[in-house]
A and B are shown apart, each in its own frame.
Chain A
Amino acid sequence: MRILRIVYLNISFYVLTTTFLLTCLPALGSLMIIFALILPKRMMMRRLRRAISWFGAVVIRIFPWPLVRLSYKDFSGNDTRGPYLFVCNHRSASDPFLMSVLPYEGIQVVNIWPFRLPILGVIAKSAGYLSVRELPFEAFLAKTSKLLKDGVSIAVFPEGTRSRDKQVGQFHSAIFRVALETKMPIVPLCITGNEFIPPVGSPYLRPGLIKLHRLEAITWGEYRGFSPFKLKNYVRDIIIKEAALMDKKNV
């Protein structure tokens, strides 16, 4: 009976998501064209990013409920100033949707494949999402610096690929070099509980509670003088410790 219920909720999730995509994306595309014609570019980008965030929130919080639940804890004291560099561990394809809980205008640094998705890839590119592997570091630094200067936060998954065993993989240093150049605060985000939402290589959502902890920002004053290598491992250690706690305890 329990399995039947899970299958039913999976079907319901995919039907809702597909219907939403088929109706929402053309609407979003039309809105983009209208915005582009009547609004200044900066304002258009802000609205587009907000629309993507709403889309993410619907897909991760509403459609999979009650199969998948989300618990978000903010240990920053509800700091809403921004912009920030959000650094996350990466266990699931659902991770990018979780960024919708952040109350900031933001973009994500992604791998090559999300840009190749039909429609979604075009929208992500239009919203200024960055494909780190397709950019030389100097171009990446220039683009991220400009975004941060415009008040846009950036979320990254510096492992570059999903972890298959809950271990936090080695970090790539590009975003930490950006931090050292721009002196922006770094916010570690720890995600646990979504290893099987969905599992690697399968669309089947298992029931579970996704936990997302936003930790205190690491300010320039704290990491000033660090090498990029030291900084990335400093942040990685913080995420490893928090993720281990989250996995172990019901926190």
Chain B
Amino acid sequence: MTEQDAIRMTNEVFIDSFEIPKDKLAPQANIFNDLGLDSLDIVDLVVALQKKFGIMIRSDERVRNIRTLGDIYQFILVIKKELEK
């Protein structure tokens, strides 16, 4: 998976599951303050990301460190690389 794929597919999750306009989806956007998600929405986000990318991240401690959309792109790429190994 390329970085562009990770960005595109993650953005699709935000657009489809949360109806957030595409122009708000910048890598530096804080998912809490800028995009308006809260801790319960994060659970929905994790489920949607798992479904979209075919991965299991629910119990991954690194999810707790995610703050920005860019963090999610990088996290997805790392997970995908780990799975490829």
Q: Which residues of A pack against B, CB within 8 Å?
A: 137, 170-174, 177, 227-230, 232-233
Given contacts A173-B38, A227-B44, A229-B19, 12 further A-B contacts (CB under 8 A): A137-B40, A170-B32, A170-B33, A170-B38, A172-B38, A172-B40, A174-B40, A228-B40, A229-B17, A229-B36, A229-B44, A230-B18
**Bound CA–CA A171/B33 (angstroms):** 10
Contact of B19 among A170, A171, A177, A230 (CB under 8 A): A230
Interface of B: prevailing SS: loop
Number of interface residues of B (CB under 8 A): 11
The reply to whether A173 and B40 contact each other, CB–CB distance below 8 Å, is yes
The reply to whether A227 and B17 contact each other, CB–CB distance below 8 Å, is yes
Contact of B18 among A137, A170, A174, A227 (CB under 8 A): A227
Residues of chain B with a CB closer than 8 A to A173's CB: 38, 40-41
Residues of chain B with a CB closer than 8 A to A230's CB: 18-19
**Bound CA–CA A177/B39 (angstroms):** 13
**Bound CA–CA A228/B20 (angstroms):** 13
**Bound CA–CA A110/B71 (angstroms):** 32
**Bound CA–CA A170/B34 (angstroms):** 8
**Bound CA–CA A203/B58 (angstroms):** 45
Contact of B36 among A137, A170, A177 (CB under 8 A): A170
Q: Could you name 28 residue pairs across A and B whose Cβ atoms are closer than 8 Å? A: A137-B40, A170-B32, A170-B33, A170-B36, A170-B38, A171-B36, A171-B38, A172-B38, A172-B40, A173-B38, A173-B40, A173-B41, A174-B38, A174-B40, A177-B40, A227-B17, A227-B44, A228-B41, A228-B44, A229-B17, A229-B18, A229-B19, A229-B37, A229-B41, A230-B18, A230-B19, A232-B36, A233-B36
Instruction: Find the A residue at minimum CB distance from B36.
Output: A170
Interface centre among A171, A173, A230, A233 (most CB of B within 10 A): A173
